[in-house]
């Protein structure tokens, strides 16, 4: 890592860096199993741009592997999840975030199911109350006699005194 940086500096190569998009790291650098775990977690929130809906952690495509390596590197340098997601959002657009941001019209996708649950619960309680007090209809004959002529005849015979 240090050697690469040294070499790069020597050759005056400049590669675009997250710092230009989201500033300096705002968290602590990660190492070891925690680094791997966080890489996995954040990779599952970023969408592979050429796959059909897969996360970069699940995709075999080359760019997805590059993106995942970038996530790991940024975590090593101490970037926070919010910063990393923001960096990818700035280059790829909101499309790359698998978890919709709670912002603007996107908030609706989070709110609507909860509203539905609440509204539905009210409906269920109302309906249950209504059903408790509903008048009981006298047991009716199952089907009209015209349904089954034989049954009709049988009933007729049975009902005769």
| Residue list 92-111, contact with another protein (CB under 8 A) | 92-100, 105-106, 108-110
Interface region with another protein, contact rule CB under 8 A, candidates 22-30, 38-46, 76-84? 38-46
* Residues contacting residue 146 through CB under 8 Å, at least 6 positions apart: 152
Terminal-to-terminal C-alpha distance of the chain: 104
Report d(CA 123, CA 101) in Å as an integer: 30
By CB under 8 A, tell whether 82 contacts another protein: no
**Alpha-carbon span 39 to 75, nearest angstrom:** 7
Shortest gap between Cβ of 28 and another protein (angstroms)? 23
Give me the 40-69 binding string for another protein, x by CB under 8 A, dash otherwise: x---xx-xxxxxxxxx--xxxxxx-xxx-x
Three-state secondary-structure class, residue 55: strand
Is 99 in contact with 87 (CB distance < 8 Å)? no
CB of residue 27 vs another protein: minimum separation in angstroms?
20
Contact 71, 46 (CB under 8 A): yes
Contacts to another protein from residues 111-140, by CB under 8 A: 112-113, 116-117, 120-121, 123-125, 127-129, 131-137, 139-140
Tokens read off for 98: 């698998």
Report the residue from 2, 12, 28, 32 that binds another protein according to the rule CB under 8 A: 12
Position among 16, 28, 32, 161 found at the interface with another protein (CB under 8 A): 16
């Amino acid at each position: 890592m240090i050697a690469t940086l040294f070499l790069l500096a020597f050759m005056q190569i400049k590669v675009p860096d997250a710092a230009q998009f989201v500033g300096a790291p705002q968290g602590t650098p990660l190492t070891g199993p925690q680094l791997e775990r966080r890489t996995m977690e954040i990779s599952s929130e970023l969408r592979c741009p050429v796959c059909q809906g897969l996360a970069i952690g699940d995709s075999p495509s080359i760019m997805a592997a590059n993106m995942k390596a970038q996530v790991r590197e940024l975590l090593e340098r101490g970037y926070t999840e919010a910063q990393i997601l923001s960096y990818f959002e700035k280059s790829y657009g909101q499309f790359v975030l698998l978890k919709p941001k709670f912002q603007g019209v996107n908030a609706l996708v989070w709110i609507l199911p909860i509203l539905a649950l609440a509204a539905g619960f009210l409906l269920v309680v109302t309906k249950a109350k209504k059903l408790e007090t509903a008048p009981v209809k006298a047991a009716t004959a199952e089907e009209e006699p015209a349904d089954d002529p034989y049954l009709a005849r049988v009933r007729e015979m049975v009902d005769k005194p």
